[in-house]
A and B are shown apart, each in its own frame.
Chain A
Amino acid sequence: MALNKPYSDIPGTTVFDADMARRGYHLNQFCMSLMKPDNRERFKAGERAYLDEWPMTEEQKQAVLARDYNRMIAAGGNIYFLAKLFATDGQSFEQAAASMTGLSRERYREMMLDGGRKPEGQTGE
């Protein structure tokens, strides 16, 4: 019997469950490797070559190269692992979060200063 996923209808939200953790294993472990300064340098020097050292899917690699965090999440990425990637780019959680909502950094920051996104199922702008 399939496992129950009562959370699957929450909009704009991916729960990092067993299926996602399996799908994203190598993508997330690649991100973990960026915790080491030497690896960060090697990755920056040649992203594609570094990614090719990992048994990731082509879709995962393309999502990383495009820095498309929503695509990475759909491919099994988890935000705390992906944080190692945007940290390598010198970005904050705020910048990365803004990029996932489709808002500019300024507009996202304004939304947060206004009390954040309301919980009633909205996404995007």
Chain B
Amino acid sequence: MARITAGVCTSHVPAVGAAIDMGKTGDDYWKPVFAGYEFSKQWIKEEKPDVIFLVYNDHATAMDLRLIPTFAIGCGDKFDPADEGWGPRPVPVVQGCPELAWHVAQSVIQSDFDLTIVNEMNVDHGLTVPLSLMFGQPDQWPCRVIPFAVNVVVYPPPSGQRCFNLGKAIRKAVESFDDDLKVQIWGTGGMSHQLQGSRAGLINQEFDNQFLDRLRTDAEGLALLPHLDYVRDAGSEGIELVMWLVMRGALNADARELYRFYHVPASNTALGHVIYENSM
């Protein structure tokens, strides 16, 4: 039986990817950011997951305004790094896990979540920056990845409650898969940030730290936080945090927070990162 052994959440700031790609991780500005992932890189080397179920958002890359799926699951064999306007990131092609992805799609749709099935798409920094943060710069990513894109660009995004419940449905789906796979679920994006308008540059450390605390101790309550509160308190792009609730919903209520890191600023963004171990 496949099982979800751990959850990881991290911001997916594009400038972090650029710093890695351009060899700037040792610069004074970036050093403290990457120091915050040293533990995680060591941890995942020992954990050796078979598959990562990676919840992220596409930033008008594979999905433009012609098609706007709320939830899209990548069921293809592989996903190429996208050219977001600066040229594609120099990172390995992402190898998918079609057999598990299709299984999850069927099970989750039958649990009343209407997923869009995607067989071909390029993946942007939302997916590749978390991989780089956790695995560094290998020639090949060390495991397979199921990309799962959530619309947080066009209003309305799915609610926190919906995302939390989706996590539960994903967990049920994974656990009904026969192969003995070690699966991790990752939620990405956030934390507080706003990239647009005269309020750009907003950071709310108090909100972020409460979010991190409640994710651990009161995830059910946190899931009730309305869209308006994210936009007002965590900035228009802070709404990405609902994707962390997918991760949390897929783990047991008593899952253990193994690691936490928080740093301001990473470009325009408050960067957050947690690792949870699922209880068995």
Q: Which A residues have a C-beta under 8 Å from some C-beta of B?
A: 6-7, 10-18, 21, 25, 28-29, 31-32, 34-37, 40, 69-70, 73, 78-81, 83-84, 87-88, 92-94, 96-98, 100-102, 108, 111-113, 115-119, 122-124
Contacts and interface: CB of A to CB of B under 8 A. Distances in A.
A82 to B, nearest CB: 8
A124 B198 contact: yes
Interface string B121-145: 0000000000000000000000000
B39 interface: no
Contacts of B14: 93
Nearest to A69: B196
Interface pairs A-B: 7 shortest CB-CB:
A116-B203, A87-B85, A12-B199, A123-B198, A12-B198, A80-B60, A97-B200
Contacts of A123: 197-199
Interface stretch (B98-106, B171-179, B225-233): B225-233
Contact of B264 (A10, A13, A98, A115): A115
Interface residues of B, number: 47
30 contacts: A10-B232, A13-B194, A13-B236, A16-B154, A17-B155, A28-B60, A28-B64, A29-B64, A32-B60, A34-B85, A35-B85, A37-B87, A70-B198, A78-B154, A79-B196, A80-B59, A80-B60, A83-B84, A84-B84, A92-B18, A92-B267, A94-B268, A100-B198, A108-B201, A112-B201, A115-B203, A116-B202, A116-B264, A118-B202, A119-B234
B184 to A, nearest CB: 27
Given A35-B85, A87-B84, A88-B85, A14 B198 contact: no
A116 B238 CA distance: 14
Interface of B: 14-15, 18, 59-61, 64-66, 82-87, 153-156, 192, 194-205, 207, 227-228, 231-237, 264-265, 267-268, 270
B197 A73 contact: yes
Contacts of B66: 29
B84 to A, nearest CB: 7
A73 B236 CA distance: 13
Contacts of B194: 13, 117
Given A13-B199, A93-B14, A111-B201, A7 B231 contact: yes
Given A13-B196, A93-B195, A119-B233, 13 more contacts: A6-B228, A12-B200, A13-B194, A13-B199, A15-B155, A32-B60, A37-B87, A87-B86, A92-B18, A101-B198, A116-B203, A119-B203, A123-B198
Contact of B64 (A13, A18, A81, A92): A81
Contacts of A81: 60, 64-65
Contacts of A29: 64-66
A119 B202 contact: yes
Contacts of B199: 10-13, 101, 117, 122-123
B197 A70 contact: yes
Nearest to B239: A15
Given A83-B60, A116-B203, A21 B65 contact: yes
Highest count of chain B CB atoms <10 Å: which of A40, A70, A112, A113: A112
Contacts of B18: 92
A7 B194 CA distance: 14
Contacts of A7: 227-228, 231-232
A21 B196 contact: no
A14 B196 contact: yes
A94 B195 CA distance: 8
A81 B267 CA distance: 19
Highest count of chain B CB atoms <10 Å: which of A11, A70, A83, A98: A83
B169 to A, nearest CB: 27
A88 B84 CA distance: 10
Given A112-B268, A117-B202, A35 B83 contact: yes
